[in-house]
């Protein structure tokens, strides 16, 4: 029965609003989580959507620029006047820590702060569920315990995953840290090494992983009322509620085909209306280009591109532009990657490459988040 409700929820996009589902969506405010969640919400305009997130999500989404969402209600986990500034400050601190530390050290630093965010979100959610009933609850992938919450609220469960990760223990898939070539992956000895590499890494950081998971489990609220026992360790580990999992970005260049019928690949959301509704230098630049002629290159919020790799990427883009005179490139950088790009540009000795990269009609550089 729950599966049928989910099926109707996904495919009946054009039913009248009066017959729409009552949907609750929960997401932290980070761009990689809240943006795809909001794009999904916009696609559900004939349903009644309540969207709970953090106030600093406004850094990435202009919620007021979508007047067609007549049945959309926005609730911030903390709507105090200082919340936005405080959350942006914490986000900046996390990004700066990621730049200067290893992945696992950064996770150990970030998880306690993420736990506070999740606790605040779930507090707000539980209080709402004590007074309202929802047909479907959709949570971003870091909101652990969604399955237990949905079971207690008697609502269908959906988990929105921005990016599906590779299976570290699959002999036939590359581990992004083990640096195997495509040729090596065809040989059994290298595929065995691929899995052994993952096991060795996990053993090495086992104590750190235990501490991280303990922090997550301790972060959930215990709100007096009907949901008091929902987030106990036992419930979160052993609740068998089935959740439909939707993901947007595949782990490789090839679109995945999941064998599990509860996992669905949606593809990336592309909202062209945001170009029409915004008037600034960037949108004017995009509108001035021929259809399907702009290549968008985003380097992420926390990822760091080493100088040698940045040189190869930029030289490759320059060569592409020289070979394809109808194309343009939009480069989106954040944190240290913008400084790395400037270094590469200043040290470049190939005059043709340098000329095309400095042509602002062919290359647009955005040193920050791009809507």
Measured between alpha carbons, how far is 138 from 153 in angstroms, rounded to an integer?
13
| Backbone angle region of 82, left / alpha / beta, with phi > 0 → left and psi within -120 to 50 → alpha | alpha
Q: What pLDDT is attached to residue 268?
A: 72
* SS3 at position 339: helix
- What is residue 336's predicted lDDT score, i.e. its pLDDT? 79
For the chain, domains (ranges, CATH) are 2-164+215-265 (3.40.50), 275-366 (no CATH)
Residue 17 CB coordination number (10 Å): 11
Query: 61-70: long-range contacts (C-beta < 8 A, 24 or more apart)?
Result: 61/34, 61/35, 61/371, 62/278, 62/371, 63/38, 65/274, 65/277, 65/278, 66/42, 69/41, 69/42, 69/45, 70/17, 70/45
Question: What is the pLDDT at residue 320?
Answer: 94
* Rounded distance between C-alpha atoms, residue 356 and residue 328, angstroms: 10
Asked whether residue 7 carries a pLDDT value surpassing 70, the answer given is no
Q: What is the DSSP letter of 298?
A: E
Confidence band, pLDDT 50/70/90 cuts, at residue 171? low
Confidence tier at 82 by pLDDT (50, 70, 90): confident
Q: Residue 292 pLDDT > 60, yes or no?
A: yes
How far apart are alpha carbons 155 and 128 in whole angstroms?
14
Burial class (CB in 10 A: 0-12, 13-18, 19+), 100: exposed
Q: Is the pLDDT of residue 35 over 90?
A: no
The DSSP symbol for 240 reads -
Q: Is the pLDDT of residue 294 over 90?
A: yes
Please state the rounded mean pLDDT for residues 89-109.
Answer: 79
CA distance 109 to 1: 42
Return the exposure string of 325-358: e unless at least 16 CB atoms fall within 10 Å of the residue's CB, then b.
Answer: eebbbbbbbbbbbbebbeebbeebeeeebeebbe
By the 10 Å C-beta count (0-12 exposed, 13-18 middle, 19+ buried), 270 is classed as: exposed
Short-list 145, 147, 92, 152, CA closest to 121? 145
CA dihedral 63, 289, 334, 165 (to 10 degrees): 80
- pLDDT at res. 129: 93
pLDDT surpassing 80 at residue 188: no
* Short-list 227, 242, 167, 158, CA closest to 198: 167
Highest mean pLDDT among 23-32, 83-92, 224-233, 293-302: 23-32
* pLDDT for residue 134: 94
Lowest model confidence (mean pLDDT) among 101-110, 143-152, 318-327: 101-110
What is the structure's pLDDT at 324?
92
Is the predicted pLDDT of residue 337 greater than 60, yes or no?
A: yes
**Considering the chain, what percentage of its residues have pLDDT values greater than 90?**
25
- Confidence check: pLDDT of 4 > 60: no
Cβ-contact 124, 83 below 8 angstroms: no
Q: What proportion of the chain, given as a percentage, has pLDDT over 70?
A: 81
Give 10-14's long-range contacts (Cβ < 8 A, gap of 24+): 10/244, 10/264, 12/46, 13/43, 13/44, 13/46, 14/46
- Taking only Cα atoms into account, the Rg of the chain, rounded to an integer number of angstroms, comes to 23
* 79 vs 356, higher pLDDT: 356
pLDDT of residue 183: 75
Which pLDDT does position 369 carry in this prediction? 78
Instruction: Please tell me the predicted confidence (pLDDT) of residue 65.
Output: 72
Q: In what order do the strands lie in the sheet containing 136-140?
A: 72-76, 48-53, 22-26, 136-140, 156-163, 243-249, 263-265
How would DSSP label each residue in 3-64? HHHHHHHHH-TTS-GGG--EEEEE--SSHHHHHHHHHHHHTTTTSEEEEEE-GGGGGT--GG
Average pLDDT over the chain, rounded to whole?
A: 80
The answer, yes or no, to whether residue 88 has pLDDT greater than 80, is: yes
What is the mean predicted confidence (pLDDT) over 177-204? 73
Helices and strands: H and E segment counts in the chain: 13, 10
Asked whether 150 and 156 are in contact (CB, 8 A), the reply is: yes
The pLDDT of residue 229 is 79
The confidence band for 230, taking pLDDT boundaries of 50, 70 and 90, is confident
Helix (H, G, I), strand (E, B) or coil at 80: coil
């Amino acid at each position: 029965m729950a599966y049928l409700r989910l099926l109707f929820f996904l495919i009946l996009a054009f039913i009248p609003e009066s017959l729409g589902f009552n949907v609750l969506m929960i997401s932290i405010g980070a761009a990689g989580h809240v943006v795809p969640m909001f794009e999904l919400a916009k696609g559900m305009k004939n349903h009644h959507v309540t969207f709970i997130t953090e106030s600093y999500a406004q850094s990435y989404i202009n919620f007021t620029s979508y007047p067609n969402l007549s049945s959309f209600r926005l609730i911030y986990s903390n709507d105090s006047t200082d919340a936005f500034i405080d959350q942006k400050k914490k986000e900046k601190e996390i990004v700066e820590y990621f730049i200067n530390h290893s992945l696992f050290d950064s996770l150990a630093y970030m998880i306690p702060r993420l736990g506070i965010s999740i606790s605040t979100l779930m507090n707000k959610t539980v209080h709402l569920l004590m007074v309202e009933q929802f047909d479907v609850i959709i949570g971003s992938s870091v909101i652990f315990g969604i399955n237990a919450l949905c079971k207690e609220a008697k609502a269908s469960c959906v988990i929105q995953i921005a990016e599906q990760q590779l299976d570290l223990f699959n002999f036939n898939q590359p581990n992004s840290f083990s640096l195997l070539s495509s040729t090596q992956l065809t040989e059994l000895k290298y595929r065995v090494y691929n899995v052994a590499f993952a096991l060795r890494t996990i053993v090495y950081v086992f104590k750190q992983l235990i501490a991280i998971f303990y922090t997550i489990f301790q972060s959930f609220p215990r709100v007096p009322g009907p949901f008091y026992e929902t987030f106990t360790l036992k419930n979160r580990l052993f609740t068998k509620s089935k959740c439909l999992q939707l993901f947007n970005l595949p782990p490789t260049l090839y679109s995945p085909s999941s064998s599990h019928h509860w996992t669905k690949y949606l593809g990336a959301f592309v909202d062209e209306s945001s170009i029409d509704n915004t008037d600034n230098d960037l949108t004017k630049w995009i509108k001035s280009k021929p259809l399907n002629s702009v290549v968008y290159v985003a380097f992420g919020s926390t990822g760091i591109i080493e100088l040698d790799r940045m040189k190869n990427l930029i030289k490759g883009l320059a060569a592409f532009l020289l070979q394809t005179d109808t194309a343009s490139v939009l480069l989106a950088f954040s944190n240290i990657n913008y400084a790395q790009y400037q270094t590469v540009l200043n040290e470049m000795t190939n005059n043709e490459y340098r000329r095309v990269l400095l042509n602002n009609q062919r290359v647009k550089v955005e040193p920050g988040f791009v809507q």
